[in-house]
Amino acid sequence: MGILTQDFKYAVRVLLKSPGFAAVAVLVLALGIGANTAIFSVVNAVLLRPLPYQDPGRLVQVWHVPPAKSFPGMTEFSVSAANYLDWRDQNHVFDQLAIYTYATLNLSGKGQPESVTSAVVSPNFFSTLRVQPLFGRAIAPGEDQLGHANVVALSHAFWREHFGSDSGIVGHNVTLNQQSYAVVGVMPPRFEMPSSVQIWTPLAWTDAERAVRGEHHFSVIGRLKPGIDLKQAQAEMNAISSRLEQQYPADDKGWGAVVVPLREELVGSVRPALLVLLGAVAFVLLIACANVANLMLAKTLGRRKEIAIRSALGASRARIVQQVLSETVLLALTGGIFGLLIAQWGVRLISAFLADQLSLSPEIKLDVWVLGFTLAVSVATGVLAASPQLCV
């Protein structure tokens, strides 16, 4: 460790003698490492890290499969109210099935009126996801009945921006569509299901609305029972769809159902793009390594006299290699530090860009895994940039 410390101190002195060279090398590496760190932050949050729910592997999305003749090429379709109720009552594979849809409500009574994005949900929506409010409570059973549905749960961001993080907001009323709604709870930070929702209100149907099969406006999520896999769930939904087709041929003929893991549903459309982007920025980092390696090689060739003297004084090849490595790794680590600053800016930009397309965008952040990735990439970059010099 003493020798290594001595090598790094010497590397600092050498690089300070050539500040222009060091600045260019650090900038090139910072851009490459920063871009890789930013994209890895997205890949880590979206593809690698478990969903922020309890036992997320059992969460699924359930869709209608429309008749191929009427909707060619479509494999997922919104769900009707009556079919959801039949799915919920007839299945033996789900702990719970919950239903939701989007709605736009007008918030008034405090400043200028504004439009608010709401998710209208069945009372078991939050218990299906196993999400607990930050304080207060979630929408309760029975609050989906007409006359009892004027309650609202707030997202953490909406509560912070509109009510100044007032912890006493529970029990107060807000005016939505010129009706008074009682605030029952505030959901935890970074919880956005479905994407971009600001508030949640109960889904209250009339008896006539419960019987509708021909209008498809809703999305359904479910939690599989322990020991039930996706194949068993799909077989059950196929059987239920066949029964409903025979029972209600006018509305359900040709309509099936498909069970999709929730993670695949949330990230399936962006997965290929993210992997391509990760490969692209990795290629950019390789180009940065090649440029720095050329700079370091030219610098090393200018130090041949110094290296010859060190060899004549008894320095082994391994000792000289260690010194060269210490310089390039020091450059790469410095580039990694500045790369983190670039990555932080990049993560904010990417999160804002994906906010309307990806409900997991709030999970994109620089965590300990991303920091470990940056450290590993920095060291590997330093070694790679030094490789041409080691052959001299």
Task: Spell out the domain ranges in the chain.
Answer: 2-52+269-390, 67-254
Give the ranges where the chain is alpha helix by DSSP (H): 2-16, 19-43, 81-90, 125-129, 156-163, 207-210, 230-247, 249-252, 262-267, 271-301, 304-312, 317-354, 368-390
What's the confidence (pLDDT) of residue 237?
A: 94
CA dist 141 to 79, 249, 250, Å? 22, 32, 32
pLDDT in tens, 211-257: 888 888 899 999 999 999 999 999 999 999 999 999 998 888 889 99
Burial class of residue 23, CB neighbours in 10 A (0-12, 13-18, 19+): exposed
- Our CA angle for 98, 99, 103, nearest 5°, is 145
Residues recorded for the chain:
392
Q: What are the pLDDT tens digits along the chain (392 aa)?
A: 666 666 667 667 766 777 777 788 788 888 888 888 888 888 777 777 777 788 888 999 999 999 888 788 788 899 999 999 999 999 999 999 999 999 988 888 776 788 888 999 999 999 999 998 988 888 888 888 877 778 899 998 889 888 888 888 888 888 888 888 889 999 988 788 887 888 999 998 888 888 888 888 899 999 999 999 999 999 999 999 999 999 998 888 889 999 999 888 777 667 777 778 778 878 877 887 777 777 666 666 555 566 566 666 555 555 566 677 777 777 778 888 888 888 888 888 877 776 666 666 666 777 787 888 888 888 887 777 666 555 55
What's the confidence (pLDDT) of residue 269?
A: 65
What's the confidence (pLDDT) of residue 363?
A: 66
CB 119 within 8 A of CB 194: yes
* CA 319 to centroid of chain Cα atoms: 45
What's the confidence (pLDDT) of residue 314?
A: 59
CA dist 103 to 25, 100, 115, 176, Å? 52, 10, 10, 12
CA distance linking residue 215 with residue 203, whole number of Å:
16
- Name the residue among 78, 90, 85 with its Cα closest to residue 207: 85
Q: Check: pTM over 0.75? Answer yes or no.
A: no
Burial class of residue 391, CB neighbours in 10 A (0-12, 13-18, 19+): exposed
Neighbours of 106 (CB within 10 A): 12
What's the confidence (pLDDT) of residue 73?
A: 78
Neighbours of 105 (CB within 10 A): 21
What's the confidence (pLDDT) of residue 31?
A: 85
Give the single-character DSSP code of 187. Answer: P
CA distance linking residue 182 with residue 199, whole number of Å:
12
What's the confidence (pLDDT) of residue 80?
A: 93
pLDDT in tens, 318-358: 556 667 777 777 777 888 888 888 888 888 887 777 666 66
